[in-house]
Amino acid sequence: MNVVIKFFRDLFKFVYSKIFLIQLVIAVTMLAILSYVALEWLESTTNHHQRIIVPSLSKKNLDDVEKILEEKDLRYEVQDSATFNPDYPRYSVVEQNPAAGSEVKEKRKIYITINPSGYRKIEVPNVVLQTRRQAEPKLIALGFKVGTITYKPNMSDQVLELRHKGKRIKAGTMLMKTSTIDLVVGDGKGLKLNLSN
């Protein structure tokens, strides 16, 4: 029992001694300094307060994009090319993520989509021997434009030929999207003549 009492007495003496108080002050001071240094280091490495406003890259080519983002300490990655957009120059940025005006940290990667060199090629469908009313919507739905309609004496009122830039084309021909296809259609008058005979 005396040993326990002696232990606690010595402990209280040590806790209230000058040596302990000095060591406690030193330990608290060191802990505060270390905490401050750690917080400063974290803030500098994570750029906690630093924000960069993402510039607009719309209609810029890749050389311009690289310069602009390099100055802002940002990076970029090109995603798959989009469907050709005639409102944008070829090989220019049509989309970006994050959007222009967003706030990001330095070294952030900006994902960009580039306008391809032109429309992709599409296979001309087989609309020969179909009526004009059937053929036109099919061509338009695929992205073609229907141009001149030329009527040719024939018993039926079906499409007889497809032409592009004055040349006859067959089903399966690959043409650029938005190409104009002219139709040669039967006038159906041959049928009436036959009926009258």
Condensed to tens digits (0 to 9), the pLDDT of residues 90-147 reads 889 999 999 999 999 888 999 999 988 777 888 999 999 999 999 999 999 998 999 9
Residue 67 included in any domain: yes
For 80, the domain range is: 52-114
Asked whether residue 127 falls in the same domain as residue 110, the answer is no
| Contact assessment for residue 157 and residue 132, using Cβ atoms and an 8 Å cutoff | yes
Asked whether residue 64 falls in the same domain as residue 91, the answer is yes
Count the domains in the chain.
Answer: 2
Among 187, 151, 144, 189, which Cα is nearest to 169's? 144
Residue 92 included in any domain: yes
Q: What is the pLDDT of residue 194?
A: 44
Residue 179 included in any domain: yes
- Give the phi and the psi of residue 30 in degrees, each rounded to 5: -65, -40
pLDDT digits (tens, 9 = 90+) for 180-193: 999 999 988 865 54
Q: What is the pLDDT of residue 112?
A: 93
Which of 76, 92, 114 delimits the end of a domain?
Answer: 114
- The CA distances from residue 54 to 43, 59, 63, 77, 100, in Å, are 21, 15, 17, 14, 5
Q: Which residues are CB-neighbours of 7 under 8 A, at least 6 positions away?
A: none
Which of 114, 133, 159 delimits the end of a domain?
Answer: 114
Asked whether residue 132 falls in the same domain as residue 83, the answer is no
Tell me what the pLDDT averaged over the chain comes to: 85
Side chain identity, residue 16: Y
Which of 68, 98, 114 delimits the end of a domain?
Answer: 114
Question: Which CATH number is 170's domain given?
Answer: 3.30.10.20
Does 81 have pLDDT greater than 50? Answer: yes
| Contact assessment for residue 144 and residue 122, using Cβ atoms and an 8 Å cutoff | yes
Residue 180 included in any domain: yes
Query: How many angstroms separate the CA atoms of 81 and 88, rounded?
Result: 13
For 143, other C-beta atoms within 10 Å of its C-beta total 15
SS3 6: helix
